[in-house]
Structure 1
Amino acid sequence: MQALLWIAVFVITFLVMEFLAWATHKYVMHGFLWVLHRDHHHKDHGSWWERNDFFFIFYALVSIGCFLLWQYENVWIGLPIGLGIFAYGITYFMVHDIFIHQRFKLFRNANNWYAKGIRRAHKIHHKHLGKDEGECFGMLVPPLKYFKK
């Protein structure tokens, strides 16, 4: 029974992370921390590393904090929450950085309906260079209109 609870907390955390990523992207990255996100939209920085990558570090530290709560304070829920955040981070990295932006040349031939929808939504997001005109702030669950032909 306890294993089912751990799995449920892990899955719920992973799903909630999509909403948190959307909210962080819309209100923080395109808000008061635009200074860190701007280079991701402008690509005029001439570097593989972007200031935008600091957001990944933030979520990694939150995940590590959850692991530490579990390990040193014996707070059981820290483990499935930390793993859920970690799993979402890995998924985000694979989809956003590797698949969409091709920071590593992998998954280039993925051409199914889901892959096309994600690419369309992200392309629309990046057509806006300013912080205020953005749309499609989500990652794994973009609006349904991007899946239509």
Structure 2
Amino acid sequence: MNYWLIKSEPNTYAWDDFVKLGRDHWDGVRNYAARKHMMSMKKDDLALFYHSVNDKCVVGVAKVVREHYPDPTTDDDRWVVVDLVPEFKLEVAVTLEQIKNDNRLSDMVLVNNSRLSVQPVKKEEFDIVLSLGQK
């Protein structure tokens, strides 16, 4: 199993929007590195759901239920989507500040390349973020 972090602007598409849908494709990715990561996602992989821009925090965990296929929001066949379902909401959001201040997470892609909208996460990092998200 692989672990990921996916970013969304909460004023455009928030965790609660995702939960209401119950299942959705992750579309609109127009960065080649992020696309490469999406093409590496496998069924049952888990992803930290991150609110970007204003909130800057991990709020939940999603699961990949369908591997990459052409992005239905564009005619450009270079871009792909994956289908995700919400797994669970964190008890407390884990802020970017918390992540940056935790020495165990200093190598996390989010800390070193925060602009990338889909990024890999090491199992250890994933587990640490989950533990920070518990009350």
Q: TM-score range by the shorter chain?
A: under 0.3
- Which structure shows the higher helix fraction? 1
The two structures have a TM-score, normalised by structure 1, of 0.25
TM-score normalised by L of structure 2: 0.27
More strand by share: 2
